[in-house]
Amino acid sequence: MARYLAMTSRGLVDALHDELIEIGAKNLDKEPGGVFFDGNWSVVMRANLRLRTATRIVKPILSFPAYKNEDLYNNILKFDFTKMIEVDGTLAVEASVRECAFKDQRFVAMKVKDAVVDQFREKLGARPSVDNENPDLVIVVRGYKNHFDVSLDTSGDALFKRGYRVATGEAPIKEHVAAGLLKLAEWDGVTPIVDPMCGSGTILIEAAMMAKKMAPGTLRKSFGFMKWKGYDREVFKKELETVLDVEETATEKLIARLTVEDEEGVEKVQPMFYGYDLDAQVIKAAKANAKEAGVDDIVVFRRHAMETLEAPCEKGVVITNPPYGTRLGNKESLKDVYKDFAFTLKNRFKGWTAFVLSGDPELSSAMKLKATRRAPVYNGNIECRLLKYEMF
C-alpha cells in the first residue's frame, strides 16, 4: 500500500471521492483540489482506467520547506529517482509556485531537474535526458508559501483526454467536468438525456459511456506508470480485462433494452441521448466524436434551433452548458438565447428536470426560472453553478 492523490477540478471533489470508494481505494481524505487515498498497484491502475472525474493520479514523494537554492536542491536528493526509470530514459519537471521566495517556476523546474540528473550521474555514471513532449517520468512540483510538495505523475496525459475527441467546437467543456455534471445531477444511468446546445457532444458522449459502463481509460493508448521500473504488465492486463468484460455485459443489456420493432417489424435501436445545435460544423464534430468513442448507436445529434425544439420522448433530463459570453457570444444577445431556452423548457419539456451550467448569474437570471438546487463547480478557471430546474 502507498499514498496517492487523485486530482480534479474544484466542485467535483465529492464526486471523485464517491468514485474512489467504488474502486476499492482506502483511507480517503478530501482536499480542495482532489482526494488522497491508499492503494496498491492494482488500485492505481484501476483509478487511471475507471475514474471519470479525475484529471490525474499522482504519487506524493517529498514535502519540505525551501527558501534558498540549496534547500530545494538538497531536499530533492532525498528521494532515489534512479529506482523509477532507466538511466537512458527521459524526464520532465512540471513546476508551479505561489507566494514563494522563488518567483520563477521555470527556475524551480530547472533546479529540480539538475538535482535529479546529478543523482543519476553520481550513482550510475550517466543521466536521463529531458523530454517535455513524451517523458518516461513526470515530476510534479508545487510550491506555496515556501513549502514544496513533490509528486510523480502516474497518468501521463491528463485523464480528461479520453482519446475520442477528434473534433471540437470553439469552447468545449472538458470531459471530466462533463462527467462531473452528470454525477452532480444524480443522473440514474437509464433516463434519456437531451442537450439542446450540445456543441461537440461531450456531455452526451460521457453519459453514453456511463450507460454502457465503459471505463474512460480504455480509449487511451498509454499511462505514465507504464514507463516506470517495476511496471507489471500482467496486473494491468487483468484490470483491463475486468473493465472490458463489465462493458461488454452492460452494453449487451442496454442495447437489448433499447431495441424496438418498427411498424414493419424491423428491429432498431432507439436512441437514449439527443443532442441539438444550430451550428452544422459542431454537429458534424459531435457525430465524429461519438463514433470514435463507440457510442454512436445510442446517441443522436441533429442540427436544430433550440427555440423550436420539441421533447423527443415523454420524460427525461435536460443537461446543457450554454455559452456564458466569456469566450463565445455577446452578453446582451445571449440574454435573448437564455429567455428563449426558458420558454422552450416551460412549454415543450413539461415534466422534465433541467440542469444548466451557469457561468454568469446575469444570464441565468434572464431565464426567470427558480432553481431548486445550486451546485458550485469550476469549468476551467470560470466559477460556475449547476442549476437545477423542475419543469412542472
CA distance 206 to 204: 5
Do 54 and 184 fall within a single domain?
no
Do 204 and 308 fall within a single domain?
yes
Do 179 and 89 fall within a single domain?
no
- Position 189 in a domain: yes
Do 315 and 281 fall within a single domain?
yes
Whole-number pLDDT of residue 157: 94
Q: Are 188 and 273 in contact (CB under 8 A)?
A: no
Distance in Å from the first CA to the final CA of the chain: 50
The identity of residue 352, as a single letter, is: W
The identity of residue 309, as a single letter, is: L
Q: Are 58 and 5 in contact (CB under 8 A)?
A: yes
Do 252 and 187 fall within a single domain?
yes
Strand-pair category, 2-7 with 56-65: antiparallel
Whole-number pLDDT of residue 325: 66
Do 247 and 368 fall within a single domain?
yes
- How many CA atoms, within 13 angstroms, populate the side-chain half-sphere of residue 231? 18
Q: Rounded to 5 degrees, what angle do the CA atoms 155, 156, 161 make?
A: 85
Whole-number pLDDT of residue 261: 83
Whole-number pLDDT of residue 356: 98
- Position 323 in a domain: yes
Whole-number pLDDT of residue 262: 80
Can you give the CATH number for the domain in which 74 is found? 3.30.2130.30
Q: pLDDT tens for the chain, 392 residues: list them.
A: 899 999 999 999 999 999 999 999 999 999 999 999 999 999 999 999 999 999 999 999 999 999 999 999 999 999 999 999 999 999 999 999 999 999 999 999 999 999 999 999 999 999 999 999 999 999 999 999 999 999 999 999 999 999 999 987 777 899 999 999 999 999 999 999 999 999 999 999 999 999 999 999 999 999 999 999 999 999 999 999 999 999 999 999 999 999 988 877 788 899 999 999 999 999 999 999 999 999 999 999 999 999 999 999 999 999 999 988 654 457 778 899 999 999 999 999 999 999 999 999 999 999 999 999 999 999 988 999 999 999 98
List alpha helices for 279-355, DSSP H: 280-293, 331-348
Do 97 and 145 fall within a single domain?
yes
Do 85 and 229 fall within a single domain?
no
> Which range of residues forms the domain containing residue 11?
2-153
- Position 167 in a domain: no
Q: Residue 5: which of 154, 157, 177 has the closest Cα? A: 154
Do 184 and 249 fall within a single domain?
yes
- In Å, how far from its chain's centre is CA 175? 4
Question: 166 Cβ partners below 8 Å, 6+ apart?
Answer: 285, 288, 289, 292
Whole-number pLDDT of residue 168: 77
User: What total of structural domains would you count in the chain?
Assistant: 2
Do 7 and 140 fall within a single domain?
yes
- Position 306 in a domain: yes
Can you give the CATH number for the domain in which 279 is found? 3.40.50.150
- Which regions of the chain does DSSP assign to beta strands (E)? 2-7, 26-31, 34-39, 56-65, 90-98, 129-130, 137-144, 147-153, 193-195, 259-261, 267-269, 273-277, 299-303, 317-320, 353-358, 373-379, 382-390
Whole-number pLDDT of residue 324: 81
- Position 250 in a domain: yes
- Position 265 in a domain: no
- Position 160 in a domain: no
CA distance 94 to 108: 9
CA distances from 238 to 46, 213, 249, 256 (A): 10, 17, 17, 27
Do 10 and 125 fall within a single domain?
yes
Q: Are 154 and 44 in contact (CB under 8 A)?
A: yes
Whole-number pLDDT of residue 265: 78
CA distance 248 to 250: 6
- Position 340 in a domain: yes
Whole-number pLDDT of residue 1: 87
Do 12 and 108 fall within a single domain?
yes
